[in-house]
């Protein structure tokens, strides 16, 4: 055995599997067999034998080879399916799932590319290149469109930012001005409060000094001035007005001293000259008014305590004062008109806001109009300044009251709308857990419409809320896309499995013999597997189901043909075994030697034992014939066999040879006489029954037996050819 294995003598090894002298040799030889056809032949040879270990080894190796072949077929089917998917994908137009599907198909192909032939790999690379070019072209178009959209959006955003910056700068400037004014007012009040006591005391002393100067008492005025110096020790810095008054007091005191020391007339002349120089001077009206007032104060100081009457100088000074003050009078009159106009405009703004609050339909409010009115009125109110302080204070209180009322309504609406949008966000977030992606998409679209219908919300809060809502909405849409991609991939996988099942059916239909019948046992499982696949891609569904049905029909036809062949083989085996039994019974009738009889009987028994399938009653008929309970009259047996042939020819509607036509007519007349008036067929026996009877006929000479059996077999062939 080892020599046969080493030399590769497969027939010798196969003989040892069947006829080895020991179990160890037969099993070792069985392990050495690798050829599938030889394995199947050896399985048939050892089936039913005593060495079950050899049979198990052979069947295990056969099953292993079948499993390897099946896996190879599945792998090739997967290679073809992956390539076909890429080919179909390369011919599709671009859509939202194109790139993700391409990645899936490419990953699927990469997993089996090593098993594909070079030609197929080349074609797949072409399809991949075509698909990638489709994706690249779509990306180029999307990039160009995105660049155009970005340019337009940037331009619009720049214009919007410019407008917002202008409005914001104006508002900030006005706010800053109000803040500075408020700070100055508060600081002044605090400082004035802190310095109130010393200021009052110093102010009182200044008034006393002035009174003394007015009375012309320089000594008393000087004493009061020294008291002021004592008060200044340890006192906080004086306000500018008090410091200015003290400075003026010192100046007046000095001037008075000078006046008392010198003549008043030169000083009066100097004041008149200065006042006349101010007529037509290029000074701002407020500064001019302050200078005129200062000269007038000096003039009054010179005039007090003087006993001389200088009416002419006083008149000249007053006339010069009036002429110099005329531009100031015009300026202050114009300022008064501006303040009145601002008051009037503020009255109109206040009346408009009041009317808006009173006349607006608060059952169905136009909040956009309310927001716009508040914003525009606030800006215009700030522009309407300055105004008279007392009248402006009353206006400001009314304006703050009506704006606060409108703002409270608006804040309540803001709160309601913000709460409603937060509720929509929670509902959008809950849709992520939905199993039905289609219903989730419809629900998110409905929520988006509701979002558009919600009223105004402050800009910052609205931007934040919209970001959260859009994030959940995008997540729902992305989940729908992922579900759809998974669903599509599942359909493609079902289609691939369906193709594999169809190919298995087609391979089963191409089998023959015992392999076909063994494989046919799995048809029910294939039907259940195909039914369990569920849905297929719409474009391939009808073709896949039709192909599977055609495969089932082909399998059933192959099985039917195989059963017919098996049945015909059973009848052929019956004829062969019947011939062996006839030869033995003929030798018995001729009284041949016992050794010859034993040889013929053993040959008949061996032939009978080798047949696995018999027609109904065939084996029993042969056993009875072999047992010798049939007639030994050769002539009678030949006549009986000839009559069986004639009956078969009548059933098959075939002609009878000339030598037996007389027997046929005689038989037909007898049958006609027997059945006359009974309403039944002339012969209700079928060809199978006649064939069984032929197998049971006693011994007949070889020369007569073979032609008669051929006549019977031709009748069977004719009957089978006419059958549907």
More confidently predicted of 259 and 327: 327
pLDDT single digits (tens) 50-65: 778 888 888 888 888 8
**198: Cβ contacts below 8 Å, ≥ 6 apart:** 231, 235, 236
Tell me: pLDDT of 645 over 90: yes
What is the rounded distance in angstroms from the CA atom of residue 421 to the CA atom of residue 413?
A: 12
Percent of the chain with pLDDT over 90: 4
Q: What pLDDT is recorded for position 307?
A: 41
**Is residue 171 included in any domain, yes or no?**
no
- Tell me the pLDDT band of 314, cut-offs 50, 70 and 90: confident
Helix 367-383 and helix 311-359, axial crossing angle in degrees, nearest 10: 180
Dihedral sign for Cα atoms in the order 543, 544, 545, 548:
positive
From 407, 422, 437, give the residue that closes a domain: 422
Q: What pLDDT is recorded for position 309?
A: 47
Residue 150 has, within 13 A of its CA and on its CB side, a CA count of 6
Tell me: pLDDT of 261 over 50: no
Cis status of the peptide bond prior to 120, with omega within 30 of 0 = no
Q: What pLDDT is recorded for position 655?
A: 92
Query: Is the Cβ–Cβ distance between 292 and 321 less than 8 Å?
Result: yes
**Is residue 5 included in any domain, yes or no?**
no
> What average pLDDT score do residues 430-459 get?
85
Query: Is the Cβ–Cβ distance between 699 and 678 less than 8 Å?
Result: no
What is the rounded distance in angstroms from the CA atom of residue 53 to the CA atom of residue 409?
A: 97
What is the rounded distance in angstroms from the CA atom of residue 277 to the CA atom of residue 614?
A: 155
**Is residue 511 included in any domain, yes or no?**
no
Classify residue 272 by burial, with Cβ atoms within 10 Å: 0-12, 13-18, 19+: buried
What is the rounded distance in angstroms from the CA atom of residue 432 to the CA atom of residue 477?
A: 9
Q: What pLDDT is recorded for position 310?
A: 61
Mean residue pLDDT across the chain: 82
More confidently predicted of 46 and 527: 527
From 370, 394, 422, give the residue that closes a domain: 422
From 388, 422, 456, give the residue that closes a domain: 422
Query: Is the Cβ–Cβ distance between 102 and 135 less than 8 Å?
Result: yes
> What average pLDDT score do residues 271-286 get?
82
| Residues constituting the chain | 724
User: Total domain count for the chain?
Assistant: 2
**89: Cβ contacts below 8 Å, ≥ 6 apart:** 98, 101, 102, 105, 127, 131
Residue numbers of the domain that contains 415: 341-422
Tell me: pLDDT of 297 over 70: yes
**Is residue 267 included in any domain, yes or no?**
no
**Which range is least confidently modeled, 73-82, 234-243, 533-542, 673-682?**
673-682
> What average pLDDT score do residues 148-165 get?
80
Helix 367-383 and helix 389-430, axial crossing angle in degrees, nearest 10: 150
- Tell me the pLDDT band of 707, cut-offs 50, 70 and 90: very high
Apex 238 CA angle, 235 and 241, nearest 5: 155
Tell me: pLDDT of 561 over 50: yes
Instruction: State how far the alpha carbon of 556 is from the alpha carbons of 21, 553, 567, 613, in Å.
Output: 44, 5, 16, 21
- Tell me the pLDDT band of 308, cut-offs 50, 70 and 90: very low
Classify residue 614 by burial, with Cβ atoms within 10 Å: 0-12, 13-18, 19+: middle
pLDDT single digits (tens) 532-560: 888 888 888 888 889 889 988 988 888 88
**125: Cβ contacts below 8 Å, ≥ 6 apart:** none
Query: Is the Cβ–Cβ distance between 530 and 501 less than 8 Å?
Result: yes
**363 CB neighbour count, 10 Å cutoff:** 5
Q: What pLDDT is recorded for position 647?
A: 92
What is the rounded distance in angstroms from the CA atom of residue 669 to the CA atom of residue 46?
A: 55
**Is residue 609 included in any domain, yes or no?**
yes
**Is residue 665 included in any domain, yes or no?**
yes
End-to-end C-alpha distance for the chain, whole angstroms: 53
What is the rounded distance in angstroms from the CA atom of residue 189 to the CA atom of residue 192?
A: 5
State the pTM of this model.
Answer: 0.35
Query: Is the Cβ–Cβ distance between 701 and 638 less than 8 Å?
Result: yes
Looking only at Cα atoms, what is the longest distance across the chain? 203
Tell me: pLDDT of 682 over 50: no
**248: Cβ contacts below 8 Å, ≥ 6 apart:** 297
Apex 299 CA angle, 296 and 302, nearest 5: 155
What is the rounded distance in angstroms from the CA atom of residue 492 to the CA atom of residue 538?
A: 10
Q: What pLDDT is recorded for position 722?
A: 63
> What average pLDDT score do residues 143-149 get?
81
Give one word for 580, left, alpha or beta, with left for phi > 0 and alpha for psi -120 to 50. alpha
Q: What pLDDT is recorded for position 258?
A: 59
Q: What pLDDT is recorded for position 146?
A: 74
**14: Cβ contacts below 8 Å, ≥ 6 apart:** 29, 33, 38, 41, 42
Q: What pLDDT is recorded for position 710?
A: 92
In which residue are the tokens 């079928």 written? 686
């Amino acid at each position: 055995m080892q020599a046969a294995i080493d030399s590769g003598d497969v027939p010798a090894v196969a003989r040892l599997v069947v006829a080895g002298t020991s179990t160890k040799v037969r099993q070792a030889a069985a392990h050495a067999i690798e050829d599938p056809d030889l394995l199947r032949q050896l399985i048939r040879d050892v089936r039913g034998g005593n060495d079950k270990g050899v049979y198990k080894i052979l069947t295990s190796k056969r099953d292993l080879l079948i499993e390897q072949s099946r896996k190879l077929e599945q792998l090739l089917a997967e290679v073809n399916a992956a390539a076909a998917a890429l080919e179909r994908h390369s011919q599709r137009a671009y859509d939202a799932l194109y790139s993700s599907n391409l990645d899936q198909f490419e990953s699927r192909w990469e997993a089996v590319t090593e098993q594909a032939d070079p030609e197929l790999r080349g074609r797949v690379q072409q399809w991949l290149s075509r698909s990638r070019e489709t994706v690249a072209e779509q990306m180029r178009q999307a990039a160009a469109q995105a660049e155009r959209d970005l340019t337009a959006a940037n331009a619009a955003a720049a214009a919007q930012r410019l407008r917002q910056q202008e409005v914001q700068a104006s508002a900030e400037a006005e706010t800053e001005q109000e803040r500075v004014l408020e700070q100055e007012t508060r600081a002044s009040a605090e400082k004035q409060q802190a310095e109130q006591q010393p200021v009052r005391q110093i102010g009182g002393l200044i008034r006393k000094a002035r009174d003394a100067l007015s009375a012309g008492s320089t000594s008393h005025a000087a004493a009061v001035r020294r008291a002021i110096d004592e008060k200044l020790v340890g006192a906080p810095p004086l306000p500018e007005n008090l410091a200015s008054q003290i400075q003026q007091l010192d100046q007046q005191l000095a001037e008075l001293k000078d006046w008392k020391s010198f003549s008043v007339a030169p000083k009066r002349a100097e004041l008149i000259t200065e006042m006349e120089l101010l007529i037509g001077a290029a000074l701002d009206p407020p500064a001019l008014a302050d200078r005129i007032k200062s000269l007038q104060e000096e003039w009054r100081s010179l005039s007090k305590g003087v006993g001389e009457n200088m009416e002419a100088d006083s008149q000249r000074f007053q006339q010069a004062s009036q002429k110099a003050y005329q531009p100031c009078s015009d300026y202050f009159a114009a300022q008064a008109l501006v303040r009145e106009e601002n008051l009037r405009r503020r009255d109109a703004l206040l009346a408009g806001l009041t009317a808006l609050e009173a006349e607006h339909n608060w059952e169905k409010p136009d909040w956009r109009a309310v927001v716009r009115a508040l914003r525009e009125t606030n800006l215009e109110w700030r522009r309407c300044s300055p105004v008279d302080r007392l009248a402006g204070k009353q206006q400001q209180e009314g304006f703050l009251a009506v704006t606060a009322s409108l703002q409270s309504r608006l804040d309540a609406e803001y709160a309601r709308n913000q709460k409603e949008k937060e509720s929509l966000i929670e509902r959008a977030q809950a849709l992520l857990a939905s199993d039905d992606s289609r219903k989730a998409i419809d629900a998110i679209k409905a929520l988006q419409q509701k979002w558009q219908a919600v009223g105004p919300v402050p800009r910052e809060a609205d931007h934040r809320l919209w970001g959260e809502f859009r994030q959940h909405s995008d997540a729902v849409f992305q989940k729908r896309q992922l579900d759809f991609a998974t669903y599509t991939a599942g359909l493609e996988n079902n289609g691939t499995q369906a193709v594999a099942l169809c190919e298995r059916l087609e391979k089963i239909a191409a089998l023959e013999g015992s392999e076909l019948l063994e494989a046919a046992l799995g048809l029910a499982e294939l039907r259940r597997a195909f039914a369990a696949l569920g849905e297929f891609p719409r474009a391939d569904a009808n073709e896949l189901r039709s192909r599977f049905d055609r495969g089932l029909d082909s399998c059933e036809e192959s099985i039917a043909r195989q059963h017919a062949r098996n049945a015909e083989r059973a009848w052929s085996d019956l004829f062969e075994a019947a011939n062996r039994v006839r030869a033995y019974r003929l030798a018995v009738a001729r009284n041949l030697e016992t050794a010859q009889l034993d040889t013929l009987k053993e040959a008949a028994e061996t032939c009978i034992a080798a047949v696995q399938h018999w027609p109904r009653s065939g084996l029993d008929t042969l056993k009875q014939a072999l047992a010798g309970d049939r007639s030994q009259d050769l002539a009678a047996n030949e006549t009986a066999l000839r009559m069986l042939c004639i009956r078969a020819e009548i059933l098959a509607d075939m002609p009878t040879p000339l030598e037996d036509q007389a027997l046929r007519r005689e038989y037909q007349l007898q049958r006609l006489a027997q059945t006359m008036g009974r309403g039944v067929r002339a012969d209700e026996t079928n060809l199978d029954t006649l064939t069984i009877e032929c197998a049971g006929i006693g011994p007949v000479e070889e020369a007569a037996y073979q032609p008669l059996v051929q006549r019977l077999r031709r009748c069977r062939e004719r009957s089978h050819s006419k059958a549907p």
